[in-house]
Amino acid sequence: MGGFWAAVVPVLQMFFLSLLLLIMLPAMFGFSLGITETYMKILIKTLKWATLRIQKSSKEEETLKHSSSNGLIQRDDSSLEKEIGERRGNRRGDFALSDVFYFSKKGIESIVEDEVTQRFSSEELVSWNLLTRTNNNFHYISLRLTILWGVGVIVRYGILLPLRIFYDIILSYCWMNPQLACCNDGVDALHCRLKDWLSELVHVMCYRICARGLSATIHYHNRENKPKKGGICVANHTSPIDVVILANDGGYAMVGQVHGGLMGVVQRAMVRACPHIWFERAEMKDRHLVTQRLRDHVNDKKKLPILIFPEGTCINNTSVMMFKKGSFEIGGTIYPVAIKYDPQFGDAFWNSAKYNMVSYLLRMMTSWAIVCNVWYLPPMTQKEGEDAVQFANRVKSAIAQQGGLVDLSWDGGLKRAKVKDTFKQEQQKKYSCMVVGDDSSE
């Protein structure tokens, strides 16, 4: 037994090391040897085959949910005015016992399917992609499919996962060292520009290794609109990996709260080499302080563009939720970016209620791959007579349209917080106007 291991271990080491070098080195310099591409091609072919098998077998039963994005029920957007208004006819104002019908129908509709709660859990896939986690209605389909799933499990946990973990170890080593070198107090002030350039290079390289480590295939579109120095980059938020995805193509200054744990260590390391903007939790409450610091950063034209996620929380990449107006009050050019992941290869959404950071990363490293499209949209600035909220909504619609996402005005904070009473009060006010018959008031 001992002899067996003595023979196998060096072989394994060689295998991993060579794979590592073959994938990592090109990644650092931004070109590819085609290994990932070949892997992706095989993967796509396999998944297509699996889909066909599932569809064939489900034709015998009733049709599968062939389009989960269509929704479960037909929702007519009839407004309160239309529904109740039409039964009033000529009478100026009135209450009828049937008024409850409107509210109960809307209520039951929202129980069956609502626009908000579905955004805080992973998107349902149209067809199974051979991962257990996405299989909601497991029923045995065929032996071949099950075998394929089994092979998938072995490949993902046996080959991909260790490989990716290796990466992370090497990555953290690579990252910490240049950080220390760059922020060496002994570095001359004259070499400041060199230091900036070098640290930017190192950052991009590290992010590239990161991305390769997750088998991330990123397609950038409209790169002529890439965010420039002194601007603010605004994007929809799906997971912490968004940062890696965007930083693969250039340097950004991050904004955010100081975290504890693993994130905190990373944050502290990052800030020593690059001027990122981290806030204490208490400071976040002081909006003027936050706005001022961001403004200072933006006005310094030599500094990297700030990266902000105005939704404030992770959304499942089927929609864009309300943008908080804070980022839009700073003044400065906004560079909107739309990020859309392809859910077929791996679900990138971080459901922070269900998974902590470590289990999330493990899930990422055991998916097939991360495939996403990044669109750089033309820069936008606040128009005359437009307030911050309207500006935010305009940017949000542009991003939603480009990424093919649903544009919602619900607050992403509803993930954790209760909805504000003001919305209910609005409805009550509208209804009261109809009952009283007062057409002049709003």
Partner 1 sequence: RWRLFSDLLYKHNFSEIIQRASKIFVSHSQITRLYSRFHSLDKGENGALSREDFQRIPELAINPLGDRIINAFFPEGEDQVNFRGFMRTLAHFRPVEDNEKNKDPSAGEPLNSRNNKLLFAFRLYDLDRDDKISRDELLQVLRMMVGVNISDEQLGSIADRTIQEADTNGDMCISFSEFIKVLEKVDVEQKMSIRFLH
- Summarize as ranges the residues that interact with partner 1 (CB under 8 A): 61-65, 70-74, 83, 87, 95-118, 121, 124, 132, 136-138, 410, 414, 418-419, 423-425, 427-429, 431-433, 435-436
Beta bridge partners of 337: 235, 376
**Least distance from C-beta 162 to partner 1, angstroms?**
20
**Least distance from C-beta 68 to partner 1, angstroms?**
9
Nearer to partner 1, 114 or 283 (CB): 114
**Least distance from C-beta 389 to partner 1, angstroms?**
19
Nearer to partner 1, 113 or 283 (CB): 113
Nearer to partner 1, 108 or 180 (CB): 108
Nearer to partner 1, 116 or 218 (CB): 116
Nearer to partner 1, 24 or 408 (CB): 408
* Tokens 């409450």 found at: 285
Nearer to partner 1, 111 or 282 (CB): 111
Residues with Cβ < 8 Å from 207, sequence gap 6 or more? 244, 247, 248
Nearer to partner 1, 98 or 401 (CB): 98
**Least distance from C-beta 103 to partner 1, angstroms?**
4
Joined tokens for residue 54: 């599932």
Distance of CA 67 to the CA centre of its chain: 22
Phi, psi of 438 (to 5 degrees): -95, 95
Nearer to partner 1, 7 or 73 (CB): 73
**Least distance from C-beta 154 to partner 1, angstroms?**
17
Nearer to partner 1, 13 or 428 (CB): 428
Helix (H) or strand (E) holding 401: helix 388-403
For the chain, the farthest-separated pair of C-alpha atoms sits apart, in whole angstroms, at: 96
What are the distances in angstroms from CA 373 to CA 216, 281, 365, 392? Answer: 11, 33, 19, 22
Phi, psi of 250 (to 5 degrees): 155, 165
Phi, psi of 209 (to 5 degrees): -60, -40
**Least distance from C-beta 416 to partner 1, angstroms?**
10
61 contacts 135 by C-beta, under 8 angstroms: no
**E strands of 302-357, at which residues?**
306-308, 319-320, 334-341
**Least distance from C-beta 372 to partner 1, angstroms?**
25
Nearer to partner 1, 197 or 423 (CB): 423
Nearer to partner 1, 61 or 188 (CB): 61
Joined tokens for residue 243: 């940062």
- 312 Rama sector, left if φ>0, alpha if ψ -120 to 50, beta otherwise: left
Three-class SS of residue 142?
Answer: coil
Residues with Cβ < 8 Å from 225, sequence gap 6 or more? 335, 376, 377, 378, 379
Nearer to partner 1, 294 or 408 (CB): 408
Residue 149 CA to residue 143 CA, distance in Å, equals 10
**Least distance from C-beta 440 to partner 1, angstroms?**
14
Joined tokens for residue 11: 């072989």
**Least distance from C-beta 32 to partner 1, angstroms?**
36
**Least distance from C-beta 48 to partner 1, angstroms?**
24
Q: How many residues does the chain have?
A: 442
**Least distance from C-beta 285 to partner 1, angstroms?**
24
Joined tokens for residue 353: 């209620």
Joined tokens for residue 167: 């990466």
**DSSP for 269-309, written as a single string:** HHHHHS--EEE-HHHHH-HHHHHHHHHHHHHSTTSPPEEE-
**E strands of 311-368, at which residues?**
319-320, 334-341
Residue 5 CA to residue 369 CA, distance in Å, equals 31
